[in-house]
Amino acid sequence: MKKNILSSCLLKSIVMLIGVAVSVSVLAASPEEAIKFRKGVMTAQNWNMKIMSRMVQGQAVYDKAEFTKRAQNLAELSNMYYEGFLIKDSDIGETEAKPEIWTTMDKFKAESAKLVTEAAKLVVLSQGNDFKAIQMQFGDTLISCEGCHVKFRSK
Q: Which residue has the higher pLDDT, 16 or 152?
A: 152
What is the rounded CA–CA span in Å between residue 68 and residue 130?
13
Residues 37 and 59: their CA atoms lie apart, in Å, by 31
- Provide the 3-class DSSP secondary structure of residue 86: coil
Q: Percent of the chain, pLDDT > 90?
A: 70
Q: What is residue 8's predicted lDDT score, i.e. its pLDDT?
A: 55
User: CA 22, 32, 115, 43 torsion: positive or negative?
Assistant: negative
Of 22-26, 53-57, 146-150, least confident by mean pLDDT is 22-26
Alpha-carbon gap, residue 27 to 76, rounded angstroms = 19
Residues 6 or more apart whose CB falls under 8 angstroms from that of 35 comprise 84, 90, 93, 94, 95
> Which pLDDT value is given to residue 138?
98
In this structure, are residues 122 and 74 in contact, taking their beta carbons and an 8 Å threshold? Answer: yes
Fold of 30-152: Four Helix Bundle (Hemerythrin (Met), subunit A) (1.20.120)
Those residues whose C-beta lies under 8 Å from the C-beta of residue 19, and which sit 6 or more positions away, are none
Q: Are 68 and 131 in contact (CB under 8 A)?
A: no
Each residue's pLDDT tens digit, 27-52: 568 999 999 999 999 999 999 999 99
pLDDT at 2 over 60: no
Residue 23 has pLDDT above 50, yes or no: no
Q: Are 87 and 31 in contact (CB under 8 A)?
A: yes
Q: Whole-model pTM above 0.85?
A: no
- The per-residue pLDDT for range 94-141, each reduced to its tens digit, is 899 999 999 999 999 999 999 999 999 999 999 999 999 999 999 999
pLDDT of res. 59: 98
Ordered by start, the domain boundaries in the chain are 30-152
- Report the alpha-carbon distance of residue 12 to residue 9 in Å, rounded: 5
